[in-house]
């Protein structure tokens, strides 16, 4: 392995030189509540970076017809890896008490998801998932929960973070992820009674915008690299997946249809822009 690495360093000296200058901020010890937020932020950042990397990966790797072991998908593997990092951050930054917050939030997410699944079952008919909805929920979130458990065990072995202070970038990313989920829950419930797609998209845009504002305010004391990174992982993965839509013919298409079709792309973009705006505005006021 060392021989291979030495060969790569010889072939790509500039790349490895730039890589050696990258400094990841150390993980800080913080309160259980902020550690809970930072853990979600770590999952969002790692997951976003991996999704961006997959956009640049060759088609032979990302082809959906590829059958991965245990029926896994690339999305589930990204969730698994990001959840391992989240679990390690959770226990190293916040200690054992932070685990209870994460478990409580996971249980709340499952309970919120249950009525939506039951309602879908009533519309689509009875099947195996509808007979045991809680098992269906647990199976769908197995990569996340298993990854967090492994990360917690790994974090325990590494021990608590030494220094105390805010993990600003992780907090900002976690604030966006948690706020996005909390705001989208009522939107998801309301969408069942709304038949107009343009209104549904508008509600999603508002939810993403508010989540971006919340994250930007949490990041208001962070350097510019932090909000830019969080905005990038929010916008870039969805942007890359939505770019094929631009190839479709839009001539003569009503503006309402275009708005609905690009709603999935617009929402993260609005969230990222609002995040940067909410971060920048307080700083400009302080300077003036």
Q: What is the mean pLDDT of residues 210-236?
A: 93
Q: What is the mean pLDDT of residues 171-184?
A: 95
Pair (228, 121) in one structural domain:
no
Pair (172, 79) in one structural domain:
no
Q: Would residue 115 count as lying in a domain?
A: yes
Which of 49-53, 54-58, 140-144, 270-274 bottoms out in mean pLDDT, i.e. has the lowest? 54-58
Pair (49, 77) in one structural domain:
yes
Pair (49, 176) in one structural domain:
no
Pair (112, 54) in one structural domain:
yes
Three-state DSSP class for 250? coil
Domain range enclosing 262: 167-283
All residues at 6 or more sequence positions from 180 whose CB lies less than 8 Å from its CB, including other chains: 207, 208, 211, 271
Which of 28-42, 52-66, 162-176, 217-231 bottoms out in mean pLDDT, i.e. has the lowest? 52-66
Q: Would residue 143 count as lying in a domain?
A: yes
Q: What is the mean pLDDT of residues 192-218?
A: 84
Q: What is the mean pLDDT of residues 233-245?
A: 71
pLDDT in tens, 65-114: 677 776 778 888 899 999 999 999 999 999 999 999 999 999 998 888 88
Pair (154, 195) in one structural domain:
no
Pair (136, 120) in one structural domain:
yes
Q: Is the pLDDT of residue 275 over 90?
A: yes
How many C-beta atoms lie closer than 10 Å to residue 242's C-beta?
17
Q: Is the pLDDT of residue 243 over 80?
A: no
Pair (225, 265) in one structural domain:
yes
Pair (203, 244) in one structural domain:
yes
Pair (37, 123) in one structural domain:
yes
Residue 74's pLDDT is: 83
For residue 252, what pLDDT band results from cuts at 50, 70 and 90? low
Q: Would residue 4 count as lying in a domain?
A: no
Contact in structure between 174 and 234 (CB atoms under 8 Å): no
Pair (221, 254) in one structural domain:
yes
Q: Would residue 125 count as lying in a domain?
A: yes
Contact in structure between 200 and 150 (CB atoms under 8 Å): no
**Boundary of a domain, candidates 132, 164, 196:** 164
Half-sphere exposure of residue 220: CA atoms within 13 angstroms, side-chain side = 12
Q: Would residue 288 count as lying in a domain?
A: no
For the chain, how many structural domains are there in total? Answer: 2
Q: Is the pLDDT of residue 126 over 70?
A: no
For the chain, percent of residues with pLDDT exceeding 90: 40
Residue 15's pLDDT is: 47
Q: Is the pLDDT of residue 2 over 50?
A: no
Our measurement of the distance from residue 186's CA atom to the centroid of its chain's CA atoms, rounded to an integer in Å, reads 19
Phi/psi for 275 (5° steps) reads -60, -50
Q: What is the mean pLDDT of residues 170-190?
A: 91
Q: Would residue 1 count as lying in a domain?
A: no
Helix 32-55 × helix 74-94 angle, to 10°: 150
Mean pLDDT of the chain: 80
**Boundary of a domain, candidates 112, 139, 164:** 164
**Boundary of a domain, candidates 164, 193, 226:** 164
Q: Is the pLDDT of residue 165 over 80?
A: yes
Residue 32's pLDDT is: 95
Residue 111's pLDDT is: 87
Q: Would residue 17 count as lying in a domain?
A: no
Q: Would residue 11 count as lying in a domain?
A: no
Pair (134, 190) in one structural domain:
no
Residue 129's pLDDT is: 58
pLDDT in tens, 17-37: 554 554 557 899 999 999 999
Greatest mean pLDDT among 172-181, 184-193, 228-237: 172-181
């Amino acid at each position: 392995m060392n021989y291979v690495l030495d060969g790569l360093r010889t072939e790509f000296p500039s790349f490895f030189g730039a890589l050696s200058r990258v400094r990841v901020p150390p993980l800080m010890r913080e309160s259980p509540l902020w550690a809970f937020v930072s853990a979600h932020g770590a999952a969002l950042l790692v997951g976003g970076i991996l999704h961006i990397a997959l956009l640049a990966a060759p088609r032979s790797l990302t082809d959906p017809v590829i059958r991965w072991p245990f029926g896994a998908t690339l999305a589930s593997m990204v969730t698994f890896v990001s959840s391992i990092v989240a679990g390690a951050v959770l226990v190293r930054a916040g200690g054992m008490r932070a685990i209870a917050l994460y478990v409580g939030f996971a249980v709340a997410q499952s309970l919120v998801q249950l009525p939506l699944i039951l309602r879908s079952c009533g519309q689509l008919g009875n099947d195996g998932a509808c007979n045991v909805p809680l098992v269906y929920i647990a199976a769908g979130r197995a990569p996340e929960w298993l990854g967090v458990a492994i990360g917690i065990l790994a974090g325990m072995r590494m021990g608590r973070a030494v220094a105390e202070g805010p993990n600003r970038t992780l907090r900002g990313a976690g604030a966006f992820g948690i706020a996005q989920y909390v705001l989208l829950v009522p939107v998801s419930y309301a969408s069942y009674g709304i038949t107009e797609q343009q209104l549904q998209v508008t509600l999603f845009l508002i939810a993403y915008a508010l989540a971006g504002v919340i994250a930007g305010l949490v990041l208001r004391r962070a350097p510019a690299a932090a909000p830019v990174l969080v905005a990038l992982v929010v916008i870039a993965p969805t942007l890359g997946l939505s770019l094929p839509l631009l190839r479709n013919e839009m001539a003569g298409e009503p503006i309402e249809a275009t708005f609905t079709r690009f709603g999935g792309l617009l929402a993260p973009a609005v969230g990222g822009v609002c995040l940067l705006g909410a971060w920048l505005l307080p700083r400009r006021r302080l300077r003036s």
